Amino acid sequence: MKVLSAQQIREADQFTIQNEPISSLELMERASESFVLKFMEVNRDKRPVKIFCGVGNNGGDGLAIGRLLKEKGWEVYLYVVGNPRKGSEDFKANLERSELYAVISETKDLPGIGDEDIIIDGLFGSGLSRPLEGFYREVVEYLNQHSCLKFAIDIASGLYASQPLPKDAIAFQPDYTFSFQVPKLSFFLPDYYPYVGEWQLIDIGLDQSFIAMQETHFYQTELEEIASLFPSRSKFTHKNEVGRLMIVAGSKGKMGAAVLCTEAAFRTGAGLINVCVPKCGIDILQISIPEAMVIDGKGTNEIQSIPASDDTIILGPGLGTSKKTQDAFEKFLKSTSQPLVIDADGINLLAKKKSLVKLLPKNSILTPHPGEFKRLIGSWKDDYDKLEKLRGFCRKHKLNVVLKGAYSAVCNTEGEIHFNPTGNPALATAGSGDVLTGMIGALLAQELQPFHALQLGVYLHGLAGDQAVRQLEMPWIQASDIIGFLPNAVGSVMNQ
């Protein structure tokens, strides 16, 4: 699914109006009807609803939503914030259809709001291009003070769709945002979560052929896309044909990372796995995972030698960053040309000696969390700058990178970012990244293209975490729980 700019969304509106054809007022009505249906899915109790409408088209949506909710038996209070005479044509048309409303032109006119009320924000839409000031800022500050349930129409007032907010800017803080047709880039960024809440998309029937023609660097991964990536197996397939993998991992005190990575790789379809570990980890691996073959990495407490291999290779989980390990890592990079999967201490070794990045084979996969990525490329001004640095890094070095977190940003060698929709905060647990790395390596070993292996691995990892939290009925999990739910996650996607 494409993530479009505010300008592209406006153009999609206009194209739909001209080519469906449909009037702009009818399109507004269609959007409002869809909002109301979604709103009633979330709210079963008919509590009082107070809708604050600006005088533009977002306010027109708010007026139409209020009318439709009233028709369905809800207690609705409409407030027009600003001068109605200066409203857009569609706003004015919906104002004429509205039975009762109050005009608010000063903050003293603002109504009382109770904890049982519901607020719907329809002040400003995605076209806003400057910070809220003066009277409108005071209105939003007033609404944010209240702890009642809050909703935003399309996008919270004051939040930009695809550019950073100035430091002192404010925006409405909803619990839910019901957004029209396509997500906004700001929805995926941690800086702006307070101004988004839980967001859901509403299909309002914008022209899909026009959307398909739009250029963008940003996408949201969809289930249908992921389901088509699974590798297939013939009846006569044997283990050497379905994924040979070598995992270079572990150091004294960190052997769990190697174990988790290996278990996850087997659960994601790797047929044969060699694990290169230091001497202190050989018995641990042999006992923990009898299916794996173990290679001596020479050092007692850290790996000091990485053997050449034609297998798909993972480097990094629990590896440590000692000088001898760094030397072995550098020597290995100079000797290989196949795409690698590099995680954790593998990324930290690159960060310690940044010239090593140039040795990475093209199309390799890196899986940093924000701290590791910052050590590798330096700091950023804001979340938008972070995305541009990610895009630039991938294009420059021809690498595939997932920047892990909520809506993990999965970037290919051309600088396209696909935001992952699966996962939850319970995945922020020790070993979770080691599991993900094993999954990605297993998929790459099964001859998926590197970016597809990365995209599918990230999606399945998040989905397994979602299923674990749901079925265990706990807000937190262990990394091994993710592995336990991988068969469920794989099955649910393959059966789509």
Share of residues in the chain with pLDDT > 70 (%): 100
Residue range 367-392: mean pLDDT, rounded:
97
Query: Which residues, other chains included, contact 97 with Cβ-Cβ below 8 Å and sequence gap of 6+?
Result: 63, 64, 67
Question: By C-alpha distance, which of 305, 302, 314 is closest to 275?
Answer: 314
Judged against a pLDDT cut of 80, whether residue 334 lies above it is answered with: yes
Residue-level pLDDT at 383: 97
Residue-level pLDDT at 233: 80
Q: Does domain 225-494 have CATH number 3.30.70.20?
A: no
Residue-level pLDDT at 395: 98
> Would you place residue 23 in the very low, low, confident or very high pLDDT band (cuts 50, 70, 90)?
very high
Judged against a pLDDT cut of 90, whether residue 392 lies above it is answered with: yes
Give the separation between CA 262 and CA 446, rounded to whole angstroms. Answer: 15
> Would you place residue 293 in the very low, low, confident or very high pLDDT band (cuts 50, 70, 90)?
very high
Residue range 160-182: mean pLDDT, rounded:
96
Residue-level pLDDT at 243: 84
pLDDT tens digits for 53-110? 999 999 999 999 999 999 999 999 999 999 999 999 999 999 999 989 999 999 999 9
Residue-level pLDDT at 472: 95
pTM for the full predicted model: 0.96
Domain positions in the chain are 6-215, 225-494
Share of residues in the chain with pLDDT > 90 (%): 95
Residue-level pLDDT at 356: 98
> Would you place residue 236 in the very low, low, confident or very high pLDDT band (cuts 50, 70, 90)?
confident
Give yes or no for a contact between 346 and 316, defined as CB atoms under 8 angstroms apart.
yes
| CATH of range 6-215; options 3.20.20.20, 3.30.420.10, 3.40.50.10260, 3.30.2290.10 | 3.40.50.10260
